[in-house]
Amino acid sequence: MENAFKLLLSCPSGLSSSQVSVRFHESYDRVPHPDAELENSISEIWDKRVQQSSSLFNGKKFRYGGHDGAGPNVCLHLGLTDYRTFVGTNLNPLWERFLVSSEDDCKQCQHTSSPLGNGAVVETVDNTILVLQRSNNVGEFPGYLVFPGGHPEPEEVGITSHTCENGSQNSEPSNSKVSQEMFDSIVREVVEEIGVPAATLSEPLLIGISRRVLNVRPTAFFYIKCNLQSTQVQELYSSAQDGYESTKLYTIHPSELENMASKMPGCHRGGFALYKMMLAGGNDLK
């Protein structure tokens, strides 16, 4: 199950930031579970984790609540959640009890935090793909192979709740800021985890969203071209800001990536599947 995935959105032609909008609204927030004991386990699990690691930080995250369209324009539906609720629902040993029996993905996951992560399929100028081996110190899937990525951050665009300082609801300006953060955040993650300058990266293109079957974890994937040789990227990686999150950088030819995908968590295997769909479409995204 840890390698299984489901594709929630596929955009094989690649969507630019002008083709992706966001509806940020409280209607896409998590719905509390009616089982009080299960709901209380969120706090219990978080408290135990904090006791084990005092460095844990309960940051805000965008919650995936579905989307409209599949191209040439897509609107992402996003709510607000936090890391504490993610740990207490999606990463809860009882995570399956939070699910609703439904064919509708959003209804099935209405009681989970489901923060929207991001990942990038980065291709160098000599046609290799960048893959990281995760450190043993990270919270999820230590030692696994992953594409660089992380999360879009609400606080990067000044969002901590659904209301503005004057008490009014966030509206169109917030939607625009959140939409741009989807693209800005993946560039930040690549820069921080790989060590390449932002100026060497092309504008990201959204190629879809995959969800890990294990604890229903959604991740948006982007395609990015880097104008450096793989050897140059390896040199820069040694001084990457967030290099501690990984132990090794692989620069892999796309034809060899298939063999490594079995060592990826489900959501990243889904990212690889989205990349293959992009290639199969014959689209020149370079």
Q: What is the pLDDT of residue 163?
A: 80
Stated pTM of the model: 0.93
Q: What is the pLDDT of residue 286?
A: 42
Cα 117 to chain center, whole Å?
2
How many Å is the Cα radius of gyration of the chain?
Answer: 18
Q: What is the pLDDT of residue 241?
A: 84
Euclidean distance between CA atoms 151 and 83, whole angstroms = 11
Q: What is the pLDDT of residue 165?
A: 54
Q: How do residues 42-95 score in pLDDT, each as one tens digit?
A: 999 999 999 988 778 899 999 999 999 877 999 999 999 999 999 999 999 999
Low-confidence residues in the chain, pLDDT < 70 = 1-2, 138-139, 164-173, 282-286
Euclidean distance between CA atoms 155 and 60, whole angstroms = 7
Q: What is the pLDDT of residue 227?
A: 98
Q: What is the pLDDT of residue 245?
A: 79
Q: What is the pLDDT of residue 207?
A: 97
Q: What is the pLDDT of residue 139?
A: 65
